[in-house]
């Protein structure tokens, strides 16, 4: 389902967990900044939480507007208690996401899988 | 608000920070079927949506304030599009940010939350400003034809001083244990 702002997904997934179900937040790196305060709920509440983040402002980025947030993604998410796993190579995708699923839904952690621009390629402008 | 909600045990309740969480805690005696918050401002409605989608067999009630709703007003668009039939939202609108010194909120300055909800696409909306209108609002919360939102206009008075558990993790465990039989 689509959100108007990424922070909605953080709150929604906490509600999902309260109901005994599972979900994942898919967002671009620029949206992680919109999540910061709401991640207090995840950390304070010790909610299991998984997000897959497609990176911008990273390897080969051609849009200057993406750099401030792109470079701040990992420090910000780690400051809010998330474990960040970066993926640079295609063959890492399946094992890393599998590892993240175990860390989140078995071990109850908050994990962000960062799909870097080395993996995805940079958008052409 | 108690008259509007009726039998609170019929709902899983999520409440936004400050006044409405104190109201809900006092009304339910801090019951395990409630998740009351003292932070995560702007999150209450979307937490309610997530819970409603996870548990289509249960009624979910979000009780929150005007300030908390305004902080993430876009959520009403997402909620309208998803239109979970088991989700009902009560917005207790006192037009002020009570917990930080009663600064006027936008709803004191002309912003109409019911219109925003209706404009987002929520079909079942109502504003209640008098005693006589409460019964109709109470029925709307339980109809279940689609997501319902009721704006309850109240005077800016202090909420009850009810001590509740403010540990977000303990409250999560308590809620899940009561609902799922598991922490």
- pLDDT per residue over B77-124, tens digit each? 999 999 999 999 999 999 999 999 999 999 999 999 999 999 999 999
Instruction: Check CB contact of A108 with chain B, cutoff 8 Å.
Output: no
Rounded to the nearest angstrom, the minimum Cα separation between A33 and chain B is: 15
Among candidate residues B2, B3, B34, B6, the one with its CA nearest the CA of residue B160: B2
Question: What pLDDT digit, counting tens, does each position of B126-183 carry?
Answer: 999 999 999 999 999 999 899 999 999 999 999 999 999 999 999 999 999 999 997 6
Subunit contact B50:A14, Cβ cutoff 8 A: yes
Whether the CB of A110 is below 8 Å from some CB of chain B: the reply is no
**Cα gap A89→B79, rounded to integer Å:** 37
Q: Which residues of B touch A3 (CB under 8 A)?
A: 78
* ipTM score: 0.96
Predicted local confidence at residue A123, as pLDDT: 85
CATH number assigned to the domain comprising residue B12: 3.40.50.970
Its domain, for residue B120, covers 2-180
Domain that holds residue A49: 6-120
pLDDT of residue B183: 61
CATH number at residue A57: 3.40.50.970
Which chain B residues are within 8 Å of A17, Cβ to Cβ? 50, 172, 176
**pLDDT surpassing 70 at residue A83:** yes
Question: Looking at the domain assignment, is residue A83 inside a domain?
Answer: yes
Q: Least CA distance to B58: which residue of chain A?
A: A19
Reported pTM: 0.97
Query: Is residue A1 situated within a structural domain?
Result: no
Phi and psi at residue B39, to the nearest 5°: -170, -155
Residue B43 sits at the chain A interface (C-beta within 8 Å): yes
Number of structural domains chain A divides into: 1
Q: Which residue among B12, B39, B74 sits closest to A40, beta carbon to beta carbon? A: B39
Number of domains, chain B? 1
Strands of B47-136, DSSP E? 59-65, 87-93, 96-97, 103-104, 124-128
In a domain, A125, yes or no: no
């Amino acid at each position: 389902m689509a959100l108007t702002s990424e922070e909605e997904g953080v709150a929604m997934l906490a509600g999902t967990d309260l109901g005994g179900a599972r979900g994942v937040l898919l967002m671009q790196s620029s949206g992680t900044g919109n999540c910061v305060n709401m991640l207090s709920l995840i950390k304070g509440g010790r909610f299991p939480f998984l997000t897959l983040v497609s990176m911008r402002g990273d390897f080969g980025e051609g849009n200057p507007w993406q750099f401030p947030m792109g470079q701040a993604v990992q420090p910000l998410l780690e400051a809010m208690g998330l474990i960040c796993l970066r993926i640079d190579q295609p063959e890492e995708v399946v094992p890393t996401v599998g590892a993240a699923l175990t860390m989140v839904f078995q071990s109850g952690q908050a994990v962000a899988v960062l799909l870097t621009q080395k993996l995805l390629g940079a958008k052409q402008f | 608000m108690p008259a509007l909600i009726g039998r609170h045990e019929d709902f899983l309740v999520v409440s936004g920070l400050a006044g409405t969480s104190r109201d809900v805690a006092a009304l339910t005696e801090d019951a395990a079927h409630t998740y009351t918050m003292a932070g995560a401002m702007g999150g209450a409605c979307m937490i309610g949506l997530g819970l409603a989608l996870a548990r289509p067999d249960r009624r979910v009630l979000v009780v929150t304030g005007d300030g908390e709703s305004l902080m993430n007003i876009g959520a009403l668009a997402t909620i309208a599009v998803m239109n979970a039939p088991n989700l009902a939202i009560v917005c207790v609108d006192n037009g002020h940010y009570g917990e930080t010194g009663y600064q006027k909120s936008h709803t004191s300055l002309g912003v109409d939350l019911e219109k925003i909800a209706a404009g987002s696409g929520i079909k079942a909306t109502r504003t209640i400003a008098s005693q006589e209108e409460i019964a109709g609002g109470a029925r709307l919360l339980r109809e279940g034809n689609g997501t319902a939102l009721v704006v309850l206009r109240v005077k800016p008075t202090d909420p009850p001083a009810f001590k509740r558990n403010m540990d977000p993790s303990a409250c999560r465990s308590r809620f899940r244990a009561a609902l799922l039989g598991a922490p």
